[in-house]
Amino acid sequence: MKRTKIIATIGPATASREKIKQLIESGMNVARINFSHGDHKSNGRLIDYVKELRQKLAVSVGIMADLQGPRIRTILVKDIKIKKGELIKISDISHKTREANCIILDWPGIIKDIEIGNNILIEDGLLKISVTEKNANYLVAKAETDGVVRNNKGINIPESRLKMESLTQKDEEDLKFILNKDVDFIALSFVSSAKDIINAREKIKKILGGASGLPHIIAKIERKKAIKNIMEIIKAADAIMVARGDLGIELDESRVVIYQKEIIAQCLRAAKPVIVATQMLNSMIENPRPTRAEVSDVSNAVIDHTDCVMLSGETADGKYPIQSVKVMKDIIGKTEKSPFDILAHGFLGDRRSSISSAVAHSAHELLKDTNSEAIVAASVSGFTARMISRHRPEKTIYVVTNNEKTHNQLSLLWGVESFILPDCQTLDELIDKSIEILKRNKLVKTGDKIVVVAGRPHIIKEHMSLVKIEEVK
């Protein structure tokens, strides 16, 4: 079993039951539905397909709904050809300007928040213009590059202080639909601070009318502000995504890999799952094989100890979606067998100030010292699994849970394979039935030693108090 998980984006190239089944069988652990594309009908159908298939195949596959967020785009009467040094007029949709040579931004009132000296990056940073003049209804900017500005292209303004809510009106409508479909994860785009996550969680609770069975919130790190507030964001979020596409536009590209490593390290210490995303096998959108640089990129993310690596266009609208997952799985497997995948001693810097962290540390040490075959843990909320997983043990972590939502949310977590187990009345019953499940699935055999982690009573959330060695009878 590979321990680093794979997230695959479902799109036109994989929007059928058969293709999604092939993705699951090839190694997909989480299906991402991108709400920047499609509509409620088409995206709802994809969610239903994943649910049907994970039930039929009896596997844990998480479903991630990725909200579009406050993305700014161009509105043009026609394409505008620009030359370096040329001056261009910019307005926004709240004004009536519709000149053929004027770039309109689709966010009402946004030019109020853009200042002289701000750089405006167009179409993933391919074009760059710099604001030189500000008026009531429009801006004037100087072209820093040659190129053609086209309609409906994305805009980034890294230095500006935009007053934009992290959830747009479209996101709120999508959120209502997504919650009705009962997905496992919701990814928030363009998060700037912990407040964005807290507000989103409150909206989710309000829509659901309570706090039970909530989807986990994944904070996408793609803004300069998010880097500045990264520790508070990690604390507030359930998981983190290093969204390197927009992050590489907002920041110096040469720093992105450094931030990736730093964020992964901080997430490990906080016991929060972390995802590395964007352009991992990008050339496989058109080609059946990745470049050597892409192979190195995936390997290095695994060596950095990320929980997940993500495929976007490769599986959404690429020519080789199934092959992309197979290639990624192969790279992960070979890297995990190497000595470079081992977490350095003391990396977590954990003083084990809590009982839970001490128990997780003890489980990891016992696994090594007793040459046990696996760690078996009971977890209601997934907390126990996260605390153990962050140690990156050399053997698989088998988690039993009585919660269907937790079962599927554990699909995001490094090294974890989960099973549904109904409530047990005693700890002995819990251990016996857990071993029975593992034996039935041929994951352990008679005579194997396993490390058992549970609570007393085991049904209490976030309560780890017991670790012991058990021999499989």
Q: Is the dihedral of CA 36, 40, 42, 45 positive or negative?
A: positive
445 is catalytic: no
Catalytic residue among 220, 223, 244, 272: 220
Q: Mind listing the pLDDT tens digit for each residue in 319-351? A: 999 999 999 999 999 999 998 877 776 677 665
Catalytic residue among 2, 3, 5, 32: 32
* CA–CA distance, 271 with 348 (Å, rounded to integer): 10
278 is catalytic: yes
Q: Mind listing the pLDDT tens digit for each residue in 268-278? A: 999 999 999 99
Q: Which domains does the chain have, with CATH numbers?
A: 5-69+166-337 (3.20.20.60), 72-156 (2.40.33.10), 355-471 (3.40.1380.20)
Direct distance between the N- and C-terminal alpha carbons of the chain, in angstroms, rounded to an integer: 24
| Angle, alpha carbons 196-189-103 (nearest 5°) | 110
pLDDT at residue number 462: 52
* CA–CA distance, 213 with 233 (Å, rounded to integer): 22
Catalytic residue among 17, 19, 21, 73: 73
Residue 352 has pLDDT above 60, yes or no: no
Q: Mind listing the pLDDT tens digit for each residue in 381-423? A: 899 899 999 999 999 999 999 999 999 999 999 999 999 998 8
The DSSP string of 117-132 is T-EEEETTTTEEEEEE
Q: Mind listing the pLDDT tens digit for each residue in 17-50? A: 999 999 999 999 999 999 999 999 999 999 999 9
Name the pTM for this structure: 0.91
268, 390 contact by CB (below 8 A): yes
Residue 14 has pLDDT above 70, yes or no: yes
pLDDT at residue number 58: 94
* CA–CA distance, 80 with 89 (Å, rounded to integer): 11
204, 187 contact by CB (below 8 A): no
* CA–CA distance, 112 with 92 (Å, rounded to integer): 10
Catalytic residue among 4, 14, 74, 278: 278
What average pLDDT does range 184-188 have in this prediction?
97
What average pLDDT does range 300-313 have in this prediction?
96
73 is catalytic: yes
pLDDT at residue number 117: 93
351 is catalytic: no
What contacts 24+ positions apart, CB below 8 Å, involve 200-209?
200/166, 200/167, 203/167, 203/172, 203/175, 204/175, 204/179, 207/175, 207/176, 207/179, 208/179
Token pair 């940073």 is found at 125
Q: What is the mean pLDDT of the chain?
A: 91
Residue 212 has pLDDT above 80, yes or no: no
